[in-house]
Structure 1
Amino acid sequence: MSWLSEFVDVYDKNEKNLGITSYRIYHPKSGEESKKAYQMLPVSHIFLNCTLQIDLNADGTFAGAFVVDDPKTIVPATIESSIRSGSGSYLVPLPVDDKLQYLARDYSKWSGDEKYIESHKKYLEQFRAYLIFLKEYPDQYVYRTLQAVYRYVTENDIINDLWTGKIFGENVAKEKVAGNNLFKSTVRFNIRNPENVKRFENRRFFDAWTQYYHQVLQTDTVSGGTDEGIDYITGEENVILTSKHPKGILDNAANAKLISANDTTNFTFKGRFLTADEAVTIGYDSSQKAHAAMKWLLTKQGFKIGDRYYLAWEVNGENTADLSIVSQNPLLALAQKKFAETTEIDTNTNIAENFRKVLIDGANKDDYSLQGSVHLIELESPVNGRFGVVYYQAMSLQQYINKFASWYGKITIDDRQSFFNLKQVCYDIYGDRVDDKRMAATVSQLSHMILGSQIVPWSLLSAIYNRAIRPASFNDDKGWRRVMRTASKLFKAYYDEGEIKTMLNDSYHDRSYSFGRLLAIADVIEEGVLQGSENNEGRVTNAKRYMSSFAQRPLDTWKIIYTNLQPYLRKNKYSFKASKLIDEIFASLDAEDKHLNDPLNGKFLIGYSQQRNDWYQKKKTSNE
């Protein structure tokens, strides 16, 4: 229950945000910028997609109606109405805003079904009880406003008003009722006022219903309708309990529940306990807060792949920071920017320590607490109606920073720093056609590894190695270079040897590393000549053409590549430097080694990448 208590904590520290609309901005690689609204739900409220809005005057008379552009509306709800379903749902109305079948006294006339008379009666009965409470409520503005709504629904025919208001005509209304389209229409009420404050966005109304419904539940505990006991989330005793929990937490699985309500059937606690309460008891307020905070955070900063949702957060005072490992987060972005501006990398730099200092400096500037907790959770909805927690981890921000710093220290292969995008890494490993299921599994595997052992699984290394040594299989050179760079990073983290440094180490004479350097020199020499010739632009170098064979039989293949390189050496102005490097590297290889022609390991990719980068860096410096 620890992760549920953390969500309750998020809710308590962000109560000032209740009902306030904020926007998450999306920046797609192609297309226009988009945004998505999100709000923190108050306790005892739900989101309802309202298709129509009816405006009333202060005296409860009809003032107009229209089809809404922003259907997502926060409305008060009871436990039963928030999860209603099935044949008996027509007798479980929401308190104020709801479907027309509950609100309209003339609905039965239009639908021809007498049962909706009972729907309307239940709605008025519940509404009337709420108004009795509000009559003594300190904020009489709430009472007067809702009294106007009550007066309207009791004294007027809503469908008739919608018809005369030309929202739809008589024949259209009849057809929609017959086809059940109107049956699904939902209505929200608003009272026109000089300040143009919308009733369904006003916190005064949220607080009033929450207070009233809490009183209703307390009354039920006295009569035996609601239980009291220990809340396993907070540890508090004598609190109002619930076995019915909110749904609609995941946007793409609206009916999925985290905690099931039908624990007396199918696969549940059977065989272990006699009743559900013997397994666990959860407080109503805690359940409401935890689910509301979870949905708020998921919409605010969550990340989705297939059926899996990723979320990371750190509560910093009243702020809830996004510290995702799957997608770029503000702290890491700030640190990388500063790192690029202030850190000069060479073979002697302790990259991990420098990166750690920059991260901590960024955290201190943004008032993060290094002892505060970072929480990471993964949720999955594999079947309709259910979702569960498949992974949860909590650590201090200090530990989180240390893990990140260590990882970026291990994967740095040159002087360029960029975010290690796990989704892009997955594409690099398996190709652009990877399915969502494999994508989610791989992203999870990588994130757990980075925050855990930091030992890269061989299955991932093998897959990306086989792609990296086959440049001819790519449609463009840019895509292959990205895969080669990612592969080099992963192999550097895998070997994690002192000899393999951040930049090229020309004193490291490992066989695979040295052969990688040789191939890089041959590649840049031929590439330089081809780029300077209009007739040969876009032509693949021999180094790339033979790379796959080179990885399997380096010595034999090098003889072919070196022979083909001679014409390019004569044309390239850096031929003396290249020839000298080739001689030095080849001389460092053990000619007596009987394994000299054996297949190369991942160090070959690191040597290739670092030698290419070193060549162009020195070339740039000499030109300057």
Structure 2
Amino acid sequence: MSWLLNLYDTYQANVDQVGKIEKKRNGQEFTLLPISHTTQTAHIEVEVTETGDFHSARVIDKNDAITLIPCTEESSSRSGTKIAPYPLHDKLSYVAGDFVAYGGKIKKEEPFSYYIYQLGEWANSEYGNAKLKSIYIYLKKKRLIHDLVEAGILFLDEKGLLIEKWDSKYGNKPPLYSTVTGSIDSAFVRFTVYSPEKILTKIWKDPEMYDSFIKYYNRYLKDQDLCYVTGELLPITERHANKIRNSGDKAKLISANDSSGFTYRGRFTESRQAASISYEASQKAHNALKWLINRQGKIIDNRVFLVWENGGNEVPSFTEDSYDITSLDPFALGEEKKVSFTNQEFAREFSKALDGYKNNLLTESNINILVLDSATTGRLAVLYYRNLDKEIYFENLVKWHTTCVWFHRYRKNENNQPISFFGAPATKDIAFAAYGPNASDKIVKGLMERMLPCIVEGRKIPTDIVRSAFHRASNPVAMEKWDWEKTLSIACALINKEEGYNLALDKENNNRDYLFGRLLAIADVLERNALDSSENRATNAIRYMNAFAQHPERTWNTIQASLQPYQVRLGKRGIYYSRLIDEVASKLKFEDFNDRPLSGKYLLGFYSQRYDLYQKKGNDASESAEEQN
């Protein structure tokens, strides 16, 4: 129950955010829901006057369709033929009193009678208000279908009956019939009140309406028991929220439907013997979870990865790369720091960047990490949950980003310009490096879950992930250049996590595999410089890279033989590269120059040597050659 309690505490700490509209990057609105409220995708908006008359109606644009509505326990979990109206906004078959008169089909009893009775009880109670009564007065007239037809929203056939599904014989399809999936009776209607004298707040955005229904509905909650979340005696619920990941999500985290058949496998006689949760705690915890997912969760193939702090302060996620974390923080690393080769310097600056987050948190703050997924459409499970002290979380995050480091060039900014950064790759990019850019979401989310304990608990990276990235990086001819460059730098980061090398070229490192990698890089740069700018083909070093990793001695003989014409073409610069090859090769011990397969260290030597050569000015090589002459 600790994750529920932390979600409940998050709601309590952010109660001032209830009802405040926020926007995602795609422009979609969301908010921290009040209790006894949910969201629905509305299709029709109806305005009524303060005197209870029809004013206007419109078909809602899909970007404005998500609507905050009051709900009861019964309506939030209704299904099939069950009649359980929402308190105010609902489907056309519920809110239209003349639905049957215009040929609308109902399964059993007329839903409108249940809806209007429930609405009247609320409107006429001590908690009702003027807006609510205006809508109630209008709907009692039973003319909603008639008015929507007059407004050109709905249409009748030749018999004067409601057209439930549009047929091409009627002409071009109207907006509503294009928006609603299935029969028109499932169109969801939301109501608001119009005044010619003043601008009234839309009902689904009005805090007074939220409070009105909460106070009204609370008087019906009387079945008290011990709440396992708060530890208090409170009204209990057995119907818990769905729509956790999105407005169409039917999966629930907490549910029990075993009252017949297995009857709780003989362990219990009723569901609350396993766990009893209060209505208030359930509502607040689930609403906080929805808000957090919309605000900062990452969803891959319906699997949710969420990191949050109870106070609602921004916390860097384990899924992000070093550039995302530092670029979001006011203490972001300067541009010159992002390309630094010194691991110690980067570790110091990255720690300062994370201090910008940490200093905003309370001393006693804890960090929560939650992973959710569903095996079926109705059940959602907690796959992983950890509650960590903020110091432990940030220490592990710093350790990851300062040990799994390399220099990366695959990021792009808003203007599609390349960005270079030094640090750890994002978990999603690790998946693409290991399994290719076309890896399915199922594979990606699985790898992200496996990488989670490596980052937040300091565990070792699974060997198969490193091996897969290594083999892909060693086979550049099998992929496009951008994909290989990205795979190469990420593979180097993963390998470096275990080896602890600096990105800067280490000329004193005499490791066999590292030296072979340096030789391959020199051969690649030599041939690339000798080619015309119009020639985009792969060099021999790149073409033979996979074979070189498996049989370095034999393959190096082939590569070196192919370099002779390019050395001649480069002239003095060719002499410089030849002497550099001799210098590196001379460091190889006689017994190490063999065909034993290379480890991932050769990639580190290859990348560092290649980058060192490319960082030199255009005339550095020729100047060096002249000096040696």
How far, CA to CA, are the matches of 1:96 and 1:63 in structure 2? 18
Change in 2 beyond 3 A, CA 1:158/1:484 = same
Change in 2 beyond 3 A, CA 1:490/1:348 = closer
Aligned residue number for residue 31 of structure 1 = none
Change in 2 beyond 3 A, CA 1:601/1:266 = farther
Question: How far apart are residue 60 of structure 1 and its match?
Answer: 0.6
The residue correspondences of 1:84-233 to structure 2 (distance < 5 A) are 84-87=78-81, 89-90=82-83, 92-111=84-103, 118-134=110-126, 137=127, 143-171=129-157, 174-177=161-164, 181-193=183-195, 194-217=198-221, 221=222, 227-233=223-229
Aligned residue number for residue 369 of structure 2 = 376
Partner SS, residue 615 of structure 1: helix
Question: How far apart are residue 361 of structure 1 and its match?
Answer: 4.2
Aligned residue number for residue 34 of structure 2 = 42
- Aligned with 2:302 (options 301, 307, 311): 307
Give the letter aligned to residue 566 of structure 2.
Y
Aligned residue number for residue 515 of structure 1 = 516
Aligned residue number for residue 29 of structure 1 = none
Aligned residue number for residue 579 of structure 2 = 580
Change in 2 beyond 3 A, CA 1:514/1:98 = same
Deviations 1:465-521 (A, max 9, x none): 2211111111x322211111111111111333xxx2242211111111110011111
Aligned residue number for residue 554 of structure 1 = 552
How far, CA to CA, are the matches of 1:580 and 1:268 in structure 2? 81
Change in 2 beyond 3 A, CA 1:116/1:19 = farther
Partner SS, residue 50 of structure 2: coil
Q: How many residues align?
A: 587
Q: Structure 1 residue 449 and structure 2 residue 454: aligned?
A: yes
Change in 2 beyond 3 A, CA 1:156/1:361 = closer
Partner SS, residue 249 of structure 1: coil
Question: How far apart are residue 252 of structure 1 and its match?
Answer: 7.4
Give the fraction of aligned pairs with identical amino acids, expressed as a percent: 32
Could you say which structure has the higher helix fraction?
1
Partner SS, residue 163 of structure 2: helix
Question: How far apart are residue 351 of structure 1 and its match?
Answer: 3.8
How far, CA to CA, are the matches of 1:470 and 1:143 in structure 2? 70
Deviations 1:187-218 (A, max 9, x none): 2221112114212210100011011111121x
Give the letter aligned to residue 433 of structure 1.
N
- Aligned with 2:76 (options 73, 77, 82): 82
How far, CA to CA, are the matches of 2:50 and 2:594 in structure 1? 91
How far, CA to CA, are the matches of 1:253 and 1:551 in structure 2? 50
Aligned residue number for residue 392 of structure 2 = 399
Partner SS, residue 176 of structure 1: coil
Q: Contact between 1:309 and 1:378, CA under 8 Å: does it hold in 2? A: yes
How far, CA to CA, are the matches of 1:50 and 1:480 in structure 2? 46
Aligned residue number for residue 224 of structure 1 = none
Change in 2 beyond 3 A, CA 1:534/1:81 = closer
How far, CA to CA, are the matches of 1:478 and 1:48 in structure 2? 43
Aligned residue number for residue 415 of structure 2 = none
Q: Contact between 1:312 and 1:374, CA under 8 Å: does it hold in 2? A: yes
Q: Contact between 1:488 and 1:605, CA under 8 Å: does it hold in 2? A: yes
Q: Structure 1 residue 592 and structure 2 residue 601: aligned?
A: no
Give the letter aligned to residue 216 of structure 1.
Y
Q: Contact between 1:351 and 1:502, CA under 8 Å: does it hold in 2? A: no
Q: Contact between 1:523 and 1:543, CA under 8 Å: does it hold in 2? A: yes
Deviations 1:405-425 (A, max 9, x none): 212222224594156122222
Deviations 1:565-591 (A, max 9, x none): 223233334334433332232222110
Q: Structure 1 residue 525 and structure 2 residue 526: aligned?
A: yes
How far, CA to CA, are the matches of 1:268 and 1:570 in structure 2? 85
Q: Contact between 1:323 and 1:374, CA under 8 Å: does it hold in 2? A: no
Give the letter aligned to residue 484 of structure 1.
L
Unaligned runs of 5+ residues in structure 1 are 26-33, 222-226
Higher deviation after alignment, 239-248 or 367-376: 367-376
Q: Contact between 1:374 and 1:400, CA under 8 Å: does it hold in 2? A: yes
Q: Contact between 1:403 and 1:451, CA under 8 Å: does it hold in 2? A: yes
Q: Structure 1 residue 289 and structure 2 residue 287: aligned?
A: no
Question: How far apart are residue 177 of structure 1 and its match?
Answer: 4.4
How far, CA to CA, are the matches of 1:381 and 1:315 in structure 2? 25
Q: Structure 1 residue 466 and structure 2 residue 471: aligned?
A: yes
Question: How far apart are residue 429 of structure 1 and its match?
Answer: 1.1
Change in 2 beyond 3 A, CA 1:422/1:93 = same
- Aligned with 2:445 (options 431, 440, 444): 440
How far, CA to CA, are the matches of 2:155 and 2:338 in structure 1? 70
How far, CA to CA, are the matches of 1:228 and 1:169 in structure 2? 49
Q: Contact between 2:47 and 2:54, CA under 8 Å: does it hold in 1? A: yes
Deviations 1:534-566 (A, max 9, x none): 56x112211111111111111121122122222
How far, CA to CA, are the matches of 2:165 and 2:574 in structure 1? 84
Partner SS, residue 148 of structure 1: helix
Change in 2 beyond 3 A, CA 1:267/1:484 = farther
- Aligned with 1:72 (options 66, 70, 73): 66
Change in 2 beyond 3 A, CA 1:67/1:334 = closer
Aligned residue number for residue 352 of structure 1 = 347
Partner SS, residue 386 of structure 2: strand
Q: Structure 1 residue 411 and structure 2 residue 404: aligned?
A: yes
Unaligned runs of 5+ residues in structure 2 are 167-181, 409-420, 624-629
Question: How far apart are residue 109 of structure 1 and its match?
Answer: 2.0
TM-score under structure 1 length normalisation: 0.87
Give the letter aligned to residue 212 of structure 2.
A
Partner SS, residue 321 of structure 1: coil
Partner SS, residue 405 of structure 1: helix
Q: Contact between 2:525 and 2:610, CA under 8 Å: does it hold in 1? A: yes
Q: Contact between 1:370 and 1:398, CA under 8 Å: does it hold in 2? A: no
Question: How far apart are residue 592 of structure 1 and its match?
Answer: 3.1
Question: How far apart are residue 524 of structure 1 and its match?
Answer: 0.8
TM-score under structure 2 length normalisation: 0.87
Q: Structure 1 residue 56 and structure 2 residue 51: aligned?
A: no
How far, CA to CA, are the matches of 1:622 and 1:420 in structure 2? 32
Question: How far apart are residue 330 of structure 1 and its match?
Answer: 6.2
Deviations 1:345-371 (A, max 9, x none): 45573543442233214543xx23465
Question: How far apart are residue 114 of structure 1 and its match?
Answer: 7.5
Q: Contact between 1:301 and 1:322, CA under 8 Å: does it hold in 2? A: no
How far, CA to CA, are the matches of 1:178 and 1:506 in structure 2? 75
Partner SS, residue 308 of structure 2: strand
Partner SS, residue 35 of structure 1: coil
Question: How far apart are residue 430 of structure 1 and its match?
Answer: 0.9
How far, CA to CA, are the matches of 2:66 and 2:303 in structure 1? 24
Give the letter aligned to residue 145 of structure 1.
K
Give the letter aligned to residue 75 of structure 2.
S
Aligned residue number for residue 10 of structure 2 = 10
- Aligned with 2:565 (options 544, 564, 567): 567
Q: Contact between 2:340 and 2:422, CA under 8 Å: does it hold in 1? A: no
How far, CA to CA, are the matches of 2:619 and 2:12 in structure 1? 56
How far, CA to CA, are the matches of 1:581 and 1:369 in structure 2? 56
Question: How far apart are residue 277 of structure 1 and its match?
Answer: 1.4
Partner SS, residue 161 of structure 2: helix
How far, CA to CA, are the matches of 1:431 and 1:344 in structure 2? 26
